[in-house]
Amino acid sequence: MSSERTTVLIVEDEHDLADLYAEWVEMSGYRTRTAYDGASALEQLDEEVDIALLDRRLPEMQGGEILDRIRGEGHDCSVAMVTAVEPEADIVEMGFDEYLVKPVERSELAELLEELSERLPAGIDDPTLDALGDPKARRCFYELQNAPKSARELAGATGYSRTTVYRRLNALRQAGLITSRTTIDPDGDHYETFVTETDLILVELDDGFRIEMNPEAVDRTDS
């Protein structure tokens, strides 16, 4: 996708904020559509929409419901949640592509749109390679190869923000590369840890990232 033909659907119930986002998006060269509620968003959603910016908390219909409709009806568009709700472990299972926490700066929104507009449409690339094509997702996967980690531990290991970690965990989860499990610490507190789902892929860190098939796993599958 290029900015000359990319259409962005902005779904935000605060009219002034929605209009501000639309102004920023148009200044970056994209076409825009604006919806102030879920029903209007679904009415405007068609094959021309390339990117949807969804507020997670909307009156009558939540952003998560709209996201489910987008995915369930097979709309081929990228979806970014733009919301004041801080990310938690439950967002890993949601089918969004990116997650921004308000307040959002113009430069941050522009960077997000550039990243989403450069992605291949869903289904063209192998989901495994598509997920690991992102350097930060590869780094997260690399860290999880060594031992299961919580999102907080992964943020500490990588230096990424918790929001950034959750975005990449979501991509890796959708690609079937990781799974989560509930861990209980010595004090009895429950928290989610993430672990690699496959050992057929080995990500090595050496002057950048190199993705290789794990020879030990390949030998086991052949035997």
> Is the pLDDT reported for residue 4 higher than 60?
no
Beta-bridge mates of residue 149: 194
| Per-residue DSSP letter, 149 | B
pLDDT of residue 51: 92
Q: pTM of this prediction?
A: 0.59
What is d(CA 170, CA 145) in angstroms, rounded to the nearest whole number?
A: 16
Give the CA angle between residues 136, 20, 68 to the nearest 5°: 55
53 CB burial (10 A radius; 0-12, 13-18, 19+): buried
Beta bridge partners of 129: none
What is the residue-averaged pLDDT of the chain?
79
Task: Over range 19-26, report the average pLDDT.
Answer: 95
Give the pLDDT score at 111.
Answer: 87
The per-residue pLDDT for range 166-196, each reduced to its tens digit, is: 878 888 888 888 888 887 777 777 778 898 8
Per-residue pLDDT at 20 exceeds 90: yes
- pLDDT at residue 115 in the model: 80
pLDDT at 78 over 70: yes
pLDDT number for residue 176: 84
What percent of the chain has a predicted confidence (pLDDT) above 90? 22
Q: Give the DSSP H/E element, type plus range, for residue 52.
A: strand 51-54
- More confidently predicted of 11 and 68: 11
The secondary element (H helix, E strand) that includes residue 31 is: strand 31-35
Distance CA 74, CA 85 (A): 26
d(CA 51, CA 16): 20
Position 72 pLDDT exceeds 90: no
Beta strand pairing status for 51-54 and 78-83? parallel
- For residues 171 and 183, give the distance between their C-alpha atoms in angstroms, rounded to a whole number: 22
CATH number of 127-222: 1.10.10.10
Rounded to whole angstroms, the Cα distance separating 57 from 13 reads 9
* Residues ≥6 apart with Cβ < 8 Å to 210: 203, 204
Pairing of strands 209-213, 201-205: antiparallel
Determine the 3-state secondary structure of 81 from DSSP: strand
Q: What pLDDT is attached to residue 12?
A: 92
- With bands split at pLDDT 50, 70 and 90, how would you rate the model's confidence at 15? very high
pLDDT in tens, 95-130: 777 888 889 999 989 988 888 876 544 443 456 766
pLDDT interval class at 220 (50, 70, 90): very low
Query: Residues of CATH 3.40.50.2300 domain(s) within the chain?
Result: 7-117
Q: Comparing C-alpha atoms, which of 170, 182, 116, 117 is closest to residue 140? A: 170
- CATH class, domain 7-117, is alpha beta
pLDDT tens figures, 126-159:
567 667 777 888 889 989 988 899 988 999 999 8
Q: How many CB atoms lie within 10 A of CB 111?
A: 12
